[in-house]
Amino acid sequence: MKSRLELFDASNIHTYEWPDTEYGQYAKRYLLPLLERGSEQYVRNVRTSLYVLSVDGMPVPITVNDAEYDNAYVVSPYTHYVSYARQELELLGNRALIQVLDALLTAIGALLKRSRFNRIVHVNNWLMSTNLYPALRSEQWEDALDKLLSVFPGHAVAFRSLNSSLNAPELERLRSRKCRLVPSRQIYLLQTDLPDFGNAKSRWLLKRDRALADEHGYEQVNADGMTDYDIPRIAELYRMLYLEKYSFHNPQFTERLLTDALHEGTLELHGFRRNGRLDAILGFYVRDGVMTTPLFGYDTSLPQKLGLYRMLSALLIELARSRGLLLHESSGAAQFKRNRGATAEIEYTAVYDRHLPQRRRLSWMALEWLLNRIGVPLLRKYKL
């Protein structure tokens, strides 16, 4: 039986009946303001056309782009696979290899722009580093693909943030539809929901990390202990870590998004305060037993010996474990996460491009081949 599918945008979203479920009301609180005011009011470096696709009544966010090569990587595959990738080459620590790969990425970037690489529809795109998927059947995702191909016939259609542990049915169904499975990054999953979670070493490390808060006089606070006065500081902490230390190609959250997170619970906020000032912050959301943390930041100007990153990470794991959740730790800080029990997975973007002209398909074909033959082995070798 085919799914009931209806597409909404800012012009008709007021006619949509949001489901009276936890997921449906969360989607309303998060997506409706973005539709009404535009994505840039909430994520400064995301210019996109936002839609809601109702799949048998379940809301799924859809983003549509045509170029916008300076967008954050969450809507721009060019930014993800070229701009951001070039920045991360330094992590390899091999000067000769870096020079070769930098030249390769420059050449690939020129090819991708000529092929209109960013003309793309992203399915289930929440404008976060990690998109957790709602509980739809694999055939419903396939029906969503067919619907979007009919509405946007000149665009590639992509499903980000897929991995074999959490999305095996969806991956298999999309593979059967001849979607390309293009590696995107190496992520880390921590099964805090297991009764025998962790080994002796990881448990000792977490206990030591957690003790740092008391050692340095930090008070743990949640959203009840925060006010609008803290919003600029939260934005600053996120900027210090995710933008200034890592990359400005990451989503640049605005104070408006953070205010909604505080008041509407679109992200559950926790942090550490000392002498009245927040010095570390995290914000997570949960979907079907999985937790992920798109908001994470601390004051990088303070001495490293304080261990603010370790404190935050220990708190996050403690929160996941207390609720019996699997923790999706995204990418980065690979050895740190491995030492505390996380396991590595390759994450994929499933891309349907078979309806496009051959010159546009060649870009995705070449990228898929290069990343599977070169990118993934490098990720595993250097444990990035």
Mean pLDDT by 10 residues, the chain (384 residues): 95 98 98 98 98 98 97 97 89 84 86 94 98 96 98 98 97 97 96 80 93 97 98 98 96 98 98 98 98 98 97 97 96 93 96 96 92 89 76
Question: How far is it, in rounded angstroms, from Cα 209 to Cα 280?
Answer: 14
Question: How far is it, in rounded angstroms, from Cα 16 to Cα 19?
Answer: 9
Residues 126, 87: one domain? yes
Q: What is the CATH number of the domain that holds 206?
A: 3.40.630.30
Residues 43, 162: one domain? yes
Residues 87, 178: one domain? yes
Question: Strand, coil or helix: what is 349?
Answer: strand
Question: How far is it, in rounded angstroms, from Cα 359 to Cα 352?
Answer: 15
Tokens 């966010």, residue located: 61
Residues 21, 166: one domain? yes
Residue 103, pLDDT score = 87
Residues 293, 370: one domain? no
Residue 372, pLDDT score = 94
Residues 258, 164: one domain? no
Give the relative orientation of helices 255-264 and 231-238 as an angle to the nearest 10 degrees.
120
Residue 90, pLDDT score = 82
Residues 223, 282: one domain? yes
Residue ranges making up the domain that contains 25: 5-184+349-382
Residues 30, 120: one domain? yes
Residues 174, 194: one domain? no
Residues 150, 296: one domain? no
Residue 75, pLDDT score = 98
Residue 100, pLDDT score = 85
Question: How far is it, in rounded angstroms, from Cα 143 to Cα 121?
Answer: 15
How many domains is the chain partitioned into structurally? 2
Residues 328, 231: one domain? yes
Residues 330, 356: one domain? no
pTM for this model (two decimals): 0.95
Instruction: Determine contact, residues 75/125, Cβ cutoff 8 Å.
Output: yes
Residue 95, pLDDT score = 87
Radius of gyration of the chain from Cα atoms? 21
